[in-house]
């Protein structure tokens, strides 16, 4: 369950071979076109799973051997198999992996550029998916910072998919200072709020929407309830998709479909990424 067994699976050539064969059997059974590895995280405790000092090197070997097996299968079937990973957007993740080597075996690196701030884990509020760093942010985090760090680690921009959240995080007991942003707060029930829940029961219903022009993200605050909500909306997605295009990233990924049953966020992504800019008239 979750990332519990990845450290054990990747530990030896034999354990990796058993896992890879199970992957091939699974892909064939369900006629799938690839695999995404979501190990959260090599060399780190994550949600309490086993981890080892050599996880980073073993992670590289696992992906290298998966790619070799995928390429062998493709030569037989003439059908490409895709190999991707979900990557933690942190310096810690980069320090415990060999992304410069890993990226050679991957089609995309799906950068989880969200959860930079989480109730419970963080005792103050903050943007959980800022595009750019707000100088007032004590943690100095943002998607842009993470993208640049991954590029510096050796991942080509064309292989980076920017992760977008279809949900928000909720803090309670937040004093009415700076509209609740970067203020002490506590985890409360339902701290994870799908986008549709935010729109249907919070936005303009006792909560005021604010826009951080520096970070390019919205947030909600209720001075009466002393509740702060960090989330994503169409305006911030347009900014992020424009960033993807201008920085020539590989595209976007998101978590998850269930947060946007109306398809409004997904349509925003589609329309922005597929929008073409008309050439400027240079005639004098």
- 63 Cβ partners below 8 Å, 6+ apart? 37, 83, 85, 102, 105, 106
How much is the pTM? Answer: 0.94
Residue 138 domain flag: yes
Residue 81 domain flag: yes
Q: What is the pLDDT of residue 105?
A: 98
- Give the chain's largest Cα–Cα span: 69
Contact status, residue 244 vs residue 216, Cβ threshold 8 Å: no
Residue 282 domain flag: no
Residue 119 domain flag: yes
Residue 174 domain flag: no
- What SS3 state is found at 118? coil
CA gap 110, 36 in Å, rounded:
9
Residue 135 domain flag: yes
Residue 120 domain flag: yes
CA 229 to chain centre: 18
> How many domains, the chain?
1
Q: What is the pLDDT of residue 46?
A: 81
Query: Could you read off the pLDDT tens digit of each residue along the chain, which spans 284 residues?
Result: 689 999 999 999 999 999 999 999 999 999 999 999 999 999 998 877 889 999 999 999 999 999 999 999 999 999 999 999 999 999 999 999 999 999 999 999 999 999 999 999 999 999 999 999 999 999 999 999 999 999 999 999 999 999 999 999 999 999 999 999 999 999 999 999 999 999 999 999 999 999 999 999 999 999 999 999 999 999 999 999 999 999 999 999 999 999 999 999 999 999 999 987 544 433 32
Q: What is the pLDDT of residue 255?
A: 97
| Sheet strands (E) in the chain | 34-37, 82-88, 108-112, 160-165, 167-172, 186-194, 208-212, 217-222, 227-230, 251-255
Active-site hit among 40, 65, 73, 151? 40
Assign residue 75 the CATH number of its domain. 3.20.20.80
Is residue 200 part of the annotated active site? The answer reads: no
- Tokens read off for 235: 């305006």
Within 13 Å and on the Cβ side, how many CA atoms surround 103? 20
Q: Which domain holds residue 128?
A: 6-164+234-274
Residue 64 domain flag: yes
């Amino acid at each position: 369950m979750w990332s519990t067994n990845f450290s054990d699976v990747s530990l030896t050539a034999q354990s990796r071979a058993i896992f890879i064969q199970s992957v091939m059997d699974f892909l064939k059974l369900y006629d799938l076109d690839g695999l995404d590895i979501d190990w959260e995280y090599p060399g780190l405790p994550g949600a309490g799973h086993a981890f080892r000092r050599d996880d980073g090197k073993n992670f590289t070997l696992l992906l290298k051997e998966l790619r070799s097996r995928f390429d062998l299968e493709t030569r037989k079937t003439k059908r490409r198999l895709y190999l991707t990973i979900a990557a933690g957007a942190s310096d810690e993740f980069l320090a415990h992996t060999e992304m410069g080597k890993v990226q050679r075996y991957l089609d995309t690196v799906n950068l989880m550029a969200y959860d930079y701030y989480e109730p419970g884990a963080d005792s103050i509020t903050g943007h959980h998916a800022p595009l750019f760093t707000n100088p007032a942010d004590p943690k100095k985090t943002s998607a842009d910072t993470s993208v640049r760090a991954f590029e510096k680690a050796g991942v080509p921009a064309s292989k980076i998919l920017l992760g977008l959240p279809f949900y928000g995080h909720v803090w309670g007991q937040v004093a009415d200072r700076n509209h609740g942003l970067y203020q002490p707060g506590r985890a409360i029930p339902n701290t994870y709020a799908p986008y549709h829940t935010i729109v249907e029961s919070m936005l303009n219903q006792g909560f005021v929407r604010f826009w951080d022009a520096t970070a390019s993200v919205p947030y909600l605050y209720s001075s009466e309830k002393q509740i702060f909500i960090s989330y994503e909306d169409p305006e911030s997605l347009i900014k992020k998709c424009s960033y993807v295009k201008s920085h020539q990233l590989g595209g976007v990924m998101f978590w998850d479909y269930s947060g946007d049953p109306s398809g409004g966020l997904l349509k925003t992504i589609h329309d922005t990424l597929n929008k073409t800019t008309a050439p400027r008239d240079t005639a004098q």
